[in-house]
């Protein structure tokens, strides 16, 4: 793992985020290699979600910088980051619940369908919109949801809604996809399918960074794992190394546990 | 495509037929009304544009309390341009719309830092500031008394055609033409991707932002477009009535717009139009006949409460509901909306 050889696609240096007196993220640094599936884990309250929110532009960092392909993106708007190729998903079923499945993904094609106001008014954007509809159907097909295109989202079971959330994000043609707890609330079968899909997304050339609680899934899926604790970096490395790291075991189970390693992993 | 297109063609033909019938009815309407009712019809047509433009803003999920003041910006601008700068009236109306739109664009910087209830209160405060400016500065706004003797819409005088817009019938047709074109534009906007994006921002602004929608820009766009057409409505009002004053654009008037929108329902394009038409008819015909027209606020309040309790989705939901009821009585499944093939 010669991370120094190549410029990371996504990098945080000394990232800090305070909420009043609380330091949620404390001088945290990491870098994501292009083409990797990179996991970000840590006990509850470690600052993973805050880190995600800072990287994706929902919060500005209190200190430190975030770089995307070497460009400083700290504090830029979420929509501007999406236009650069950095797209995130959300926990749970954050979707346009009142829309059809297809319309959800059509909104995801926002960046690929630029047209002027007059063109929209006169309907000369039709070829563009037809193409967007096709691309949206392709994104649905990728997740095996094409049959459900005209269903209202609220009719979809939870697992399908999670996949639709990824389809919306993928429709925005990201270079880096940030997945916020993609496996939460899924049964083992759904988790297995989702893992396959995440690998296939990576094989399409998309770098993936994910926050997740399902240790089994993270260990099996990720090429590299960053462990956070109390808002700061604890350990970073390949799954095998992280699994056996005493600091990680201690963070998850507390120092008093004499032999809790099997459980932590 | 051709086989599947037949149903669509029939539906489109039926839709066009309905539109033609609607316009025929609207064209015949003033000749069935008394002079004073014709005057009310003119104001009704203007209010249709006011409430329909308001709905465009509500698509993004934001409800403003400043929409009537924005209409006033259009009215004052058009009146002053015509009175003091001698700008011809049709042009001054357009400039009034542009001024209203520009005002909205400026206001969006402070206002769209807020959402929901805070936006509502912020828009109220912004509207009151504008109204106080009209009151405070007698030159050029005329102070509390406002502007009077505003130039009327110029008569059309050609060899064989002579239209005097002082006549309510003629102004009715003028307003109808302007409002029809405006509604068509508003409808096209809503049916385009712009409308889809407005809805998306309403339901999940964070998700929309994450796939590249600049939610601030789109909220501003909705506000600016809505304000432009409110300004046009203001211009139509000013040059018809001939006088504007700050009280005409007070929050009381805004409450009427809210009642129209809520009673009509805002889920469909026609909902608010239905609301303003039905409530105006109730007010001007039923209440006037009963001699209760001074109790308008009381009765509007009652209608609002009844609508929220028994018709929470507005008058627009009445049609589908009745249709379902009708089908159930005829023993058809309520869900099947089409004839058997």
CB within 8 A of B90, min separation 6: which ones? B153, B154
In a domain, B5, yes or no: no
Do residues A16 and A23 make contact, with C-beta atoms less than 8 angstroms apart? yes
- Substitution target from A81, A83, A107 for chain B, most B beta carbons within 10 A: A107
Instruction: Kindly list the residues from chain A whose CB atom is less than 8 angstroms away from the CB atom of residue B209.
Output: 77-79, 82
Q: B133 and B196: one domain?
A: yes
Q: B207 vs A129: CB contact, 8 Å cut-off?
A: no
Domain termination residue (choose one: B249, B273, B295)? B249
CA atoms within 13 A on the CB side of B270: 9
Q: B236 and B298: one domain?
A: no
Q: B171 and B243: one domain?
A: yes
Q: Is B331 helix (H, G, I), strand (E, B) or coil?
A: coil
Q: B200 vs A125: CB contact, 8 Å cut-off?
A: no
Interval A189-216 mean pLDDT: 92
In a domain, B218, yes or no: yes
Assembly ipTM: 0.89
Q: B168 and B100: one domain?
A: yes
Q: B211 vs A87: CB contact, 8 Å cut-off?
A: yes
Measured between alpha carbons, how far is B48 from B273 in angstroms, rounded to an integer? 6
pLDDT single digits (tens) A224-235: 999 999 989 998
Interval B322-328 mean pLDDT: 86
Which of the four pLDDT bands, split at 50, 70 and 90, describes residue B288? confident
Q: B132 and B259: one domain?
A: no
Number of A to B CB contacts under 8 A, please give it.
Answer: 89
Residue A175 pLDDT > 50, yes or no?
yes
pLDDT single digits (tens) A133-170: 999 999 999 999 999 999 999 999 888 999 999 999 99
CA-to-CA separations, A235 to A14, A24, A32, B153, B177, in angstroms, rounded: 15, 18, 14, 76, 70
In a domain, B16, yes or no: no
Range of the domain at B49: 22-249
Residue B234 has what pLDDT?
97
For A97, which of B188, B203, B206 is closest by C-beta distance? B203
Q: B232 and B327: one domain?
A: no
Q: B322 and B216: one domain?
A: no
Domain termination residue (choose one: B198, B232, B249)? B249
Q: A121 vs B185: CB contact, 8 Å cut-off?
A: yes
Which of the four pLDDT bands, split at 50, 70 and 90, describes residue B339? very low
Instruction: Kindly list the residues from chain A whose CB atom is less than 8 angstroms away from the CB atom of residue B185.
Output: 121
Which of the four pLDDT bands, split at 50, 70 and 90, describes residue B293? confident
Do residues B122 and B149 make contact, with C-beta atoms less than 8 angstroms apart? no
Q: A168 vs B215: CB contact, 8 Å cut-off?
A: no
DSSP A154-189: GGS-HHHHHHHHHHHHHHT--SEEEEESTTTT--HH
Residue A2 has what pLDDT?
47
Express as a percent the part of chain B with pLDDT over 70. Answer: 96
Q: B181 and B55: one domain?
A: yes
In a domain, B112, yes or no: yes
In a domain, B85, yes or no: yes
Q: B164 and B273: one domain?
A: no
- Substitution target from A49, A56, A79 for chain B, most B beta carbons within 10 A: A79
In a domain, B4, yes or no: no
- Substitution target from B210, B213, B215, B268 for chain A, most A beta carbons within 10 A: B210
* Residue from B298, B307, B165 nearest B242 by CA: B165
Interval B234-259 mean pLDDT: 95
Residue A18 pLDDT > 80, yes or no?
yes
Specify the DSSP class assigned to residue B287.
Answer: I
In a domain, B341, yes or no: no
Domain count, chain B: 2
Q: B43 and B102: one domain?
A: yes
pTM: predicted TM-score of the whole model, two decimal places: 0.90
In a domain, B89, yes or no: yes
Do residues A3 and A31 make contact, with C-beta atoms less than 8 angstroms apart? yes
Domain termination residue (choose one: B249, B275, B293)? B249
Q: B189 and B299: one domain?
A: no
Residue B332 has what pLDDT?
60
For B193, which of A58, A82, A129 is closest by C-beta distance? A129
CB burial of residue B72 (10 Å; 0-12, 13-18, 19+): buried
Which of the four pLDDT bands, split at 50, 70 and 90, describes residue B134? very high
Q: B214 vs A79: CB contact, 8 Å cut-off?
A: yes
Interval B157-166 mean pLDDT: 80
Residue A256 has what pLDDT?
54
Is pLDDT larger for residue B124 or for residue B163?
Answer: B124
Q: B300 and B189: one domain?
A: no
CB within 8 A of A97, min separation 6: which ones? A152, A153, A154, B203, B204
Residue B338 pLDDT > 60, yes or no?
no
């Amino acid at each position: 793992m010669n991370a120094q050889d190549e410029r990371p696609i996504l990098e945080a240096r000394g990232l800090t985020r305070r909420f009043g007196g609380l330091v949620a993220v404390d001088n945290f640094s990491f870098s994501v290699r292009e083409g990797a599936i990179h996991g970000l884990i840590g006990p509850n309250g470690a600052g993973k979600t805050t880190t995600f929110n800072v990287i994706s532009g929902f919060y500005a960092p209190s200190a430190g910088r975030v770089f995307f392909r070497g460009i400083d993106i700290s504090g830029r708007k979420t929509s501007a980051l999406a236009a650069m190729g950095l797209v995130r998903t959300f926990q749970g079923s954050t979707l346009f619940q009142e829309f059809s499945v297809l319309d959800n993904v059509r909104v995801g094609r926002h960046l690929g369908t630029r047209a002027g106001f007059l063109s929209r008014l006169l309907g000369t954007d039709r070829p563009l919109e037809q193409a967007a509809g096709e691309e949206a159907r392709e994104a649905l097909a990728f997740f095996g949801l094409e049959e459900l295109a005209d269903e209202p989202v609220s009719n979809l079971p939870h697992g399908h809604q999670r996949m639709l959330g990824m389809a919306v994000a993928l429709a925005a043609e990201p270079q880096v996809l940030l997945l916020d707890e993609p496996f939460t609330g899924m049964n083992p079968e759904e988790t297995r399918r989702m893992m396959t899909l995440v690998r296939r997304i990576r094989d399409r050339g998309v770098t993936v960074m994910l926050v997740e609680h399902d240790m089994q899934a993270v260990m099996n899926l990720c090429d590299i794992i960053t462990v956070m604790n109390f808002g700061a970096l604890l350990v970073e490395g390949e799954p095998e190394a992280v699994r056996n790291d005493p600091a990680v075991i201690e963070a998850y189970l507390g120092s008093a546990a004499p032999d809790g390693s099997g459980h932590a992993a | 495509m051709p086989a599947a297109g037949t149903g669509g063609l029939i539906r489109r033909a039926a839709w066009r037929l309905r539109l033609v019938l609607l316009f025929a009815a609207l064209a015949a309407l003033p000749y069935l009304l008394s002079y004073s009712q014709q005057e009310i019809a003119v104001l009704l047509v203007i209010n249709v544009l006011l409430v329909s433009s308001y709905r465009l803003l509500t698509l993004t999920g934001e409800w403003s309390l400043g929409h009537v003041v924005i209409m006033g910006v259009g009215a004052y601008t058009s009146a002053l341009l015509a009175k003091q700068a001698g700008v011809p009236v049709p042009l001054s109306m357009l400039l009034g719309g542009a001024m209203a739109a520009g005002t909205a664009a400026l206001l969006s910087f402070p206002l769209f830092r807020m959402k929901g209830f805070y936006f509502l209160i912020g828009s109220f405060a912004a509207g009151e500031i504008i109204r106080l400016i009209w009151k405070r500065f007698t030159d050029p706004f005329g102070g509390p008394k406002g502007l009077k003797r505003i130039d009327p819409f110029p008569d059309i005088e050609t060899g064989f055609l002579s239209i005097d817009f002082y006549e309510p019938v003629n102004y009715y047709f003028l307003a109808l033409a302007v409002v029809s074109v405006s509604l068509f534009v508003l409808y096209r906007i809503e049916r385009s991707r712009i409308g889809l994006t407005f809805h998306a921002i309403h339901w999940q602004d964070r998700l929309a932002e994450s796939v590249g929608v600049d939610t601030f820009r789109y909220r501003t766009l909705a506000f600016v477009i809505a304000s432009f057409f409110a300004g046009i409505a203001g211009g139509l009002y000013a040059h018809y009535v001939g006088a504007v004053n700050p009280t005409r654009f007070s929050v009381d008037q805004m409450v009427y717009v809210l009642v129209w929108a809520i009673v009509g329902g805002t889920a469909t394009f026609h909902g608010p139009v239905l609301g303003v038409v039905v409530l105006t008819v109730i007010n001007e015909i039923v209440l006037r006949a009963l001699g209760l027209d001074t109790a308008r606020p009381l009765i509007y309040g009652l209608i609002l409460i009844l609508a929220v309790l028994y018709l929470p989705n507005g008058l627009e939901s009445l049609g589908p509901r009745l249709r379902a009821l009708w089908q159930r009585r005829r023993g058809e499944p309520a869900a099947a909306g089409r004839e058997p093939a």
